[in-house]
Structures are given as structure tokens and as C-alpha cells.
Homo-oligomer: A and B are copies of this chain.
Amino acid sequence: MHLEIPESLELDSNLDLNQDEFDKVVLSRRSVRSYTSDAVPESIIQHCLELALLSPSSSNLQPWEFHWVRNSELKKQLAEFCYSQPSAKTASDLIVCVARTKTWSSHLDHLVKVLKSQPGVSESAIRYHQIELPNMLAQGIFGLKGHLRSLKYRLKGIRKVQARRPGGPSDLLLWAVKSTTLAIQTFILAVRAHGYDTCPMEGFDEVRVSRLLKLPSDAHIVMVVSVGKRAINGVYGKRTRLEKERFIKQY
């Protein structure tokens, strides 16, 4: 099993991809409610989390965190905070997926340093990262800066094409949650591709989970993802989807 991620973190786009293999991953993925007692190899979860970190994020600010609970005592407690649902109780591992609304600033410092070290990066790219991005995300005391920005956007938007978000703190939360959720789905599919299963859970007591993991105040728990080996009858019923015409609209 190749669990190494290439040094360059990148592969050529012209490589020969086997799309059937990808489709099989999506088609065989189900939310699993009950796992066998098999432990998922640590290297596989680490690898899938590292793949998740290669997901796109807004302005590459990577506002995500993955709190991976393997310790059995802590896992038991965490499963109780997920209402003791079987998917949590029987899981080999639980991943608390967190969106952070305040890490962007230090991440941005890092990105600016990297940009400046690269040859041929334009002044406008540097400016975007150093000046514009902080102006687009900063909240100020009580979110005042964010709320004012929201108002300014609304006024400017009357006459011309205008960004609308993120304005205030609830927009910033939405912003962080979106990028984090992209990474969660990469993780979910990666685990399936590597022969194991997951269930993304939104049923948990976020206050108690935060306290348990001592999460900082700007951490928002997006989902808790359970990981394990699918048990017989681990999936509830056949897959049900409404007709696709409801969801795909062509113009």
C-alpha cells in the first residue's frame, strides 16, 4: 500500500486517470451506522487526512482542523456526546472536524512569506494578500468592522458588481465552514477509496465536545466523522435520492 504523498504534493494533470475507479468510490460510499470491531490502520487515517488537506480553500487560507480521537477512554466520552449513536459507539476512530475563524491571519502571514520567496509573483498578488484579504476578513471589536463592511458592500452594490460576503461574524463562520466541509468530503471519499467507511454526523453536543477537546473559542465543530469497517447491516436500507431533475437545472 502506498501511503506516501509525493514530496511535490502535485501530479501532472495529463496523467492517465481511471474514472471508473473514482466512480466506484462514490457509488460504494454509504453512511455507515455500525462497524465491525476491526481497527482502521493508523497510517490509512493519517494518509486520508493528509489528502483532505489538499482540498481547495478560500484564498488558500486553510481554516480547517481535524481532531482525531483514538484514545479509547476519550472516544467513549465523545461517542456519548454524539448521543451514543451506534455509528459513534462502534467506530474505530472519531474525527472532530473543526472550522476556525481566527487562524486565517497567521496562515496569511505564512502565505505572504511563501509568495515573496517565489520568483515572478506579481506586485498585485502580494498586495491582494497583504492588504486586501485582511480588509475582507477582519472583524474588529464586536464584529463592528465586519458589520460596517457588510453595509458598505450593500451600498456599493446598488450601482455596480460587488462582493457581498464575508461581512460580519456569521458570514466569517460560514466562510470557514465552507472550506472545511470541502476537506471533509475529500476525507470521506478517501477513506472509502482505501477500503474503509465513514459516517458524517451532525448530531452531537457541540458545547460538551468543545470542552472535552479544550477547543479554542473560535473553533466551530462542523461535523464528527466516524471511521471503521462496515458491519453486515451497517447501512440502513437502500440508497434513497429524489429525482435528479429537482437538483440539476440547465441554462
- Residues of A participating in the B interface, judged by any CB pair closer than 8 Å: 1-2, 5-6, 8-13, 15, 17-31, 46, 49-51, 53-56, 58, 60, 62, 64-71, 74, 80-81, 83, 103, 107, 110-111, 114, 118, 121, 125, 157, 161-165, 170, 173-175, 177-178, 181-186, 188-190, 192-195, 197, 199-200, 202-208, 213, 222-223, 230, 236-242, 244, 246-251
Instruction: Report the Cα distance A25→B142, complex, angstroms.
Output: 42
Instruction: Report the Cα distance A197→B20, complex, angstroms.
Output: 17
Instruction: Report the Cα distance A157→B29, complex, angstroms.
Output: 33
Besides A67-B249, A163-B205, 14 more A-B contacts (Cβ < 8 Å) are A10-B30, A13-B230, A17-B21, A17-B193, A22-B25, A27-B54, A49-B244, A56-B199, A80-B161, A164-B207, A165-B206, A170-B170, A178-B223, A213-B251
Identify 27 residue pairs between A and B in the complex whose beta-carbon atoms are under 8 Å apart, listed by A's number: A8-B238, A9-B27, A10-B238, A13-B28, A13-B30, A15-B28, A17-B193, A18-B21, A19-B194, A19-B195, A22-B22, A26-B186, A49-B244, A53-B241, A53-B247, A54-B239, A58-B202, A65-B248, A71-B251, A103-B246, A111-B240, A118-B237, A157-B205, A161-B208, A174-B174, A177-B177, A189-B189
A179 nearest CB across to chain B (Å)? 9
Given the known A-B contacts A70-B250, A186-B26, are A19 and B46 also in contact in the complex, defined by CB atoms under 8 Å? no
Would A242 and B11 count as touching, CB distance under 8 A? no
Instruction: Report the Cα distance A55→B239, complex, angstroms.
Output: 11
Chain B residues, Cβ within 8 Å of A26: 51, 54-55, 186, 190
Given the known A-B contacts A174-B173, A181-B178, A239-B9, are A161 and B83 also in contact in the complex, defined by CB atoms under 8 Å? yes
Chain B residues, Cβ within 8 Å of A189: 22, 186, 189
Pick from B6, B24, B251: contact of A68, CB under 8 Å: B251
Q: How many monomers of this protein are in the complex?
A: 2
Instruction: Report the Cα distance A114→B242, complex, angstroms.
Output: 10
